[in-house]
Amino acid sequence: MVVLVTGGAGYIGSHTVVELLNAGHEVLIVDDLSNAKAEVVDRIETITGKRPRFCQADCADKTAMEQIFAANQVDAVIHFAALKAVGESVKKPLSYYRNNLDSAMTMLEVMEEFGCKKFVFSSSATVYGPNNPYPYKEEMKAIESSSPYGWTKVMIERILTDYCTAHPDFCAILLRYFNPIGAHESGLLGDDPNGIPNNLMPYIGRVAAGKLEKLTIFGGDYDTPDGTCQRDYLHVVDLAVGHLKALEFAAGFTGVEAINLGTGSGISVLELVTAFEKANSMKLPYVIGPRRDGDLPAFWADASKAKELLGWEATHTVEDMCRSAWNFAKKSS
């Protein structure tokens, strides 16, 4: 299959491209490199022995997308490209709505023009919003969010659902990710955000590398066993394999299907810090600080639908996640 991967030079995208190439698919990456580096394409080639096609473009640029579809027989699209910083989205809602909605809709319009009918969407557990009990199940109805970033995921899920109603031969798989962490075992690919990281694991990596002084744990007084927030952390390679499975499922499916990709259990920030220290034989300086606005105390996935429909389940341990994250962070520091 020829798979167009938007945002394919990014953290989850690049790991997914590796799995696609290893499974024998042809890959065309479209990435504007606004939050990724061109050398990722070389690294993917080093890992897989195959060079994906690469086009530096914004997928909201309709003319550029039409040129790409005209020059390539694209069988399916995996759409990662998006702005993704929750806090920034609160400060710049218009740019998040404009960018994320435009790129998804442009991609759909161009797919329609060229008869491409398989779409795998990078959604998020954030669509379960603040009011659902966990573990989160796909059939939960209160789909909402607490940030403009999260609302773009809710809205694109809605757009895809309506599009599938209007086009019964189209297939949209909405993959709702929990908290991906870790890195490729080669140490060549990982989560390396520009500037000071917002997410926990890249922050921990920079503290471990001595680039940041200490970790601040946001809140120690939550109603959880140790007072810190609990999340469903999953290895990014497991998440990437989930995309491959979703693509295989999509090949024989029409309609819309939301699927959680998580391990099905939660661990706390403190537990993750302790696991990182143990896996990498080091001490991490940290302090407990105030809560971060918008954080939920705890949530994790009901991961049974992914197992039933895709035959997918997470296989990596928290130790694997911590070891690979540090292997990447120390090489990139």
The beta strand positions in 80-162, using DSSP E, are 118-124
Residue 125, interface with ligand UFG (CB under 6 A)? Answer: yes
Distance CA 166, CA 245 (A): 26
Query: Is 203 noted as a catalytic residue in this protein?
Result: no
d(CA 127, CA 309): 21
Distance (Å, rounded) from C-alpha 325 to C-alpha 185? 9
CB of 216 to ligand UFG, least distance (A): 6
Number of shown-chain residues binding ligand UFG (CB under 6 A):
20
Catalytic one of 96, 134, 136, 149: 149
Q: Which stretch binds ligand UFG (CB under 6 A): 120-128, 161-169, 256-264, 304-312?
A: 120-128
Name the DSSP letter for residue 8. Answer: T
Of 98-106, 124-132, 249-257, 301-309: span binding ligand UFG (CB under 6 A): 124-132
Q: Among residues 75, 116, 120, which one has the least CA distance to residue 241?
A: 120
Name the nearest CA neighbour of 96 among 108, 88, 106. 88
- Decide whether 7 or 52 has the Cβ nearer to ligand UFG: 7
Find the residue with minimal CB distance to ligand UFG: 229
Q: What is the largest CA-CA distance in the chain?
A: 56
Stretch that binds ligand UFG, among 25-33, 88-96, 198-206, 254-262 (CB under 6 A): 198-206
How far apart are alpha carbons 129 and 70 in whole angstroms?
39
Q: Is beta strand 230-231 parallel, antiparallel or unpaired with respect to 267-268? A: antiparallel
Site for ligand UFG in 130-189 (CB under 6 A): 150, 179
Q: Which of 217, 261, 318, 321 binds ligand UFG (CB under 6 A)?
A: 217
Give me the residues that bind ligand UFG (CB under 6 A), please. 84, 86, 124-126, 150, 179, 198-200, 203, 215-218, 229, 231, 269, 292, 295
Catalytic residues: 149
